[in-house]
Amino acid sequence: MRYFFYIAAGIGLFLFQSAVMPCFSESEKFYDVLIPFVLYLSIFCPLIESIIVILISGFLMDSMGGGVFGLYMTSYVWIFIGMRRIMGVVHIPDSFLSGPITGLGVLLEDAIVFGLFRYSGNGNPLPEDAFYVLSIRLAWAVATGGMVVLGLRYIHKLCDEQSWRLSAKFAK
């Protein structure tokens, strides 16, 4: 069930932002909803499993996205490492700080993208509306990132409960 949760959550969020969100106008200014997923994995899940899931999620995004291959994988891994480091220093109550930390994740991902633009040598280092778009993405991330993390935690608990019930049933 735990692996089912990883697969369902990763693919579900990926499909949501690549196939559902584009149906709404201005949806591109919404943040990458896989970032709260990465944060959730870094807070609540075992290290090896988290890294595998993060790499697969990054691979999906890199395959379907228009950026350089490896961009999302790199971003997610750095967000994961950053989150682990923060957790080593500060105890994070997941329901309270996960919104601002999602914002930090969005900031880190966009910093990597801007760095890529800067060193790709195609003229303008930043898009004209970069700061405007970034501020909107940050606002969305801070406002809703915590809810996504909480939602993931709730679904994960449901999956675990279902798993226990099934195992108890089979044990009888």
Partner 1 sequence: MFFKKALMFASLIILAVGGIIAISFFGMRGYSPVGIGAVPVMAPVQKSVSYAVYAIKDVWNHYFFLVSAAKQNDELKKALGDVLEQNNQCKETSLANIRMRYMLNFRKKTGQEVLVAEVIAKDPSPWFKSLIIDKGTRDGVKKGLPVVVPEGVAGIITEASKRYSKVQMIIDRNAAVDALVQRSRARGILKGNSAEQCLFQYVPRKHDVEVGDTLISSGLDGVFPKGLRIGEVSVVNKSGTGIFQEVLVSPYADFEKLEEVLVILNPPKYEVTGDNEEDEE
Binding site for partner 1 (CB under 8 A): 17-19, 21-22, 25, 27-30, 32, 64-67, 110, 113, 117, 120, 122-124, 127-129, 133, 137
Q: Provide CB contacts within 8 A for 58, sequence distance 6+.
A: 70, 72, 73, 74, 75, 76, 77
Q: Which of 22, 70 has the CB closer to partner 1?
A: 22
Contact 102, 13 (CB under 8 A): no
Nearest-Å Rg of the Cα atoms of the chain is 17
Residue 122 beta carbon to partner 1: minimum distance, rounded to whole angstroms: 6
Q: Provide CB contacts within 8 A for 37, sequence distance 6+.
A: 9, 10, 13, 57, 148, 152
Q: Which of 29, 153 has the CB closer to partner 1?
A: 29
Helix (H, G, I), strand (E, B) or coil at 159: helix
Helix (H, G, I), strand (E, B) or coil at 54: helix
Residue 166 beta carbon to partner 1: minimum distance, rounded to whole angstroms: 34
Q: Which of 91, 124 has the CB closer to partner 1?
A: 124
Q: Which of 53, 113 has the CB closer to partner 1?
A: 113
Residue 149 beta carbon to partner 1: minimum distance, rounded to whole angstroms: 19
Residue 159 beta carbon to partner 1: minimum distance, rounded to whole angstroms: 25
Of 15, 51, 62, 13, give the one whose Cα is nearest residue 33.
13
Residue 16 beta carbon to partner 1: minimum distance, rounded to whole angstroms: 9
Q: Which of 65, 82 has the CB closer to partner 1?
A: 65
